[in-house]
Chains A and B, each alone.
Chain A
Amino acid sequence: MAKRIDVSGLNAYYGSHKAIEDISMTVEPRSVTAFIGPSGCGKSTFLRTLNRMHEVTPGGRVEGKVMLDGDDLYGSGVDPVNVRRTIGMVFQRPNPFPTMSIFDNVAAGLKLNGSYKKSELNDVVEKSLKGANLWNEVKDRLNKPGSGLSGGQQQRLCIARAIAVEPQVLLMDEPCSALDPISTLAIEDLIGELKERFTIVIVTHNMQQAARVSDRTAFFNLAAVGQPGKLIEIDDTERIFSNPSVQATEDYISGRFG
């Protein structure tokens, strides 16, 4: 189910502007890897290169290799559509399809594929909603629009939608930044459960959150505004927060800048 990601020598551009430079790292399967760093350091951009969403942005361009268990995501003949099916994504703002019901939102990914049985679909939707800790809250109103849920519920609905297609990897781009503390807690608990089944990469602004949910933490930084972002170091979360090997990381974590 879960797969390892190996990134080597990755650059990403917006038009002629280089947003991130020469990033190499390994993301371990069945673990949570957190990306932290100051605003504009390219951590979200980097996350989006991992499922080829970066190239959706006008002018977006990527150089380098991203290997998913030995398959290069940017190799020739690779279909970005298949990449995105294999590597799911949850966004900063909850974005359920506004015109679809809760059920249809979760089933959306499966329906794209065309071949499914009605009973199968019911099972998958229930399983996914349970997996996202949302089943009990919505099981009586599956046909109501997803936009009627609270922000935290919407975000869990989006997680359910993402895991319904059984991806190998789940990318989360600041999934809690638009949520209140209680909803945040629910999502963090959920992340702890999901890592049993998926490789999870999470971008977060909140260092406590990184410390709470992740097994490994990567710190990104940029030399100056307008300069490309770089990976400073990646290590076990415990080490990053107690005894980082680079001074800049310690400065950032202890709140001396950023």
Chain B
Amino acid sequence: MDIPTDTTPPPPRVEDAKPTTAAQKRAARGATRPGDRIFLALSRGSGIALLLVMAAIAAFLAYRASIALADNEGSFFTTFEWDPAGITSGGKPVFGIAVLVFGTVVSSIIALVIAVPVAIGIALFISHYAPRSLAAPIAFVIDLLAAVPSIVYGLWGALVVAPNLTGLYSWLDDYFGWTGIFEYQGGAPRSLMTVGILLAIMILPIITNVSREVFLQVPKFNEEAALALGATRWEVIRMSVLPFGRSGIISASMLGLGRALGETIAVATVLSPSFVINASVLDYGGGTFAQNIASKFNEANEYGRDALIASGLVLFVITLLVNGAARLIIARRKEYSGANA
């Protein structure tokens, strides 16, 4: 960033224009004084540091994972076992994430199926149904729901919610047990279903908040168009609010999904894990990526920890993709609504 000195003869006009724009740029960026330069360097450096942290996470996880995967006798993606110490196979490490993929996906889907409609309902309640004096306190209650630590959710889920679910599960078994999905043998209901219900409560706030923001952004004149045609409140929502907010709801759900996929301690507290794939979501057993790491960590040796890191890398990549996609949708929507505002 050096300005050509004034003594330089300015032959063509294009060259003449350049120093001015460069100078303007520098002035606009405020990088001419030492104080400014240091400050800019510091703040830009922080931004870069953040990017480096992200890169470092990927790099270090990948490095340690590669150590574990090099010696793995099983197939990482299809083996139904987690035995990095090789206890059952005479010292040869055998581990795979198939069971974890299943448990993580199933519990997250249950969570989404429950949470998304409820969250949309609450978001609509705050943005369109609640009396104005109630809207703010309700939004605050939702924020409190988000502030509760996951370990407390876990404790509550294991000691309060789970015992209360036996009745519901027996009922589901009576009427839907024939599907195989809702078979229930009795016993402590520390199953993927219970985990899913708990996760639903935990991801409710983020889905609600993002959807609410979107619903509140619906241009007034859009809703008035429907109202003036003689639409009821629900019809206004169906004609104006939901179409406008569709992409917002999708990205909100994906953010919620990201949370559900990576939730650790609440799942580790509630689930009674076993390394099997069970068709019934009501019976205990199964496991998720994050829960498996937390549960197996204490007894793992260094190689076992690397194996857990390998599974963590998969979780990292999945959540990265889900969150990145959600953010891209939001960003695109912003541009779209900005262009039309």
Contacts and interface: CB of A to CB of B under 8 A. Distances in A.
Interface of A: 51, 53, 56, 58, 81-86, 88-89, 91-93, 95-100, 108-109, 112, 147, 158, 161-162, 165
The 4 closest A-B pairs by CB, nearest first: A85-B230, A89-B228, A99-B243, A109-B229
Of the candidates A85, A89, A95, the one having the most CB atoms from chain B within 10 angstroms of its own CB is A95
A51 B225 contact: no
Contact of A58 (B132, B221, B222, B239): B132
B224 A85 contact: no
A107 B56 CA distance: 56
B224 A112 contact: no
Given A82-B230, A112-B229, A95 B224 contact: yes
A27 to B, nearest CB: 18
B244 A98 contact: yes
Contact of B229 (A56, A58, A84, A147): A84
A165 B340 contact: no
A36 B222 CA distance: 25
Given A91-B225, A147-B340, A97 B230 contact: no
Nearest to A52: B227
B226 interface: yes
Contact of B227 (A56, A58, A93, A96): A56
A63 B228 CA distance: 21
B229 to A, nearest CB: 4
Nearest to B132: A58
B229 A165 contact: yes
Given A86-B230, A165-B229, 12 more contacts: A51-B228, A56-B224, A58-B132, A81-B231, A83-B230, A85-B230, A91-B221, A95-B225, A97-B226, A97-B239, A112-B230, A161-B225
A255 to B, nearest CB: 31
Nearest to B223: A56
17 contacts: A56-B224, A84-B228, A84-B229, A86-B230, A88-B229, A91-B221, A93-B221, A95-B219, A95-B224, A95-B225, A97-B222, A98-B340, A99-B243, A109-B229, A109-B230, A158-B225, A162-B228
Interface residues of B, number: 19
A45 B222 CA distance: 18
Contact of A112 (B235, B240, B243, B244): B235
Of the candidates B221, B222, B224, the one having the most CB atoms from chain A within 10 angstroms of its own CB is B224
A88 B240 CA distance: 18
A53 B244 contact: no
Contacts of B224: 53, 56, 89, 91, 95
A93 B224 CA distance: 11
B179 interface: no
A98 B222 contact: yes
B232 A108 contact: no
A99 B229 contact: no
Nearest to B246: A99
Interface in B112-141: 132
Contacts of B227: 53, 56, 84
Of the candidates A86, A109, A147, A158, the one having the most CB atoms from chain B within 10 angstroms of its own CB is A109
Nearest to B222: A95
A34 B336 CA distance: 36
Contacts of A89: 224, 228
A78 B219 CA distance: 28
Of the candidates B132, B225, B227, the one having the most CB atoms from chain A within 10 angstroms of its own CB is B225
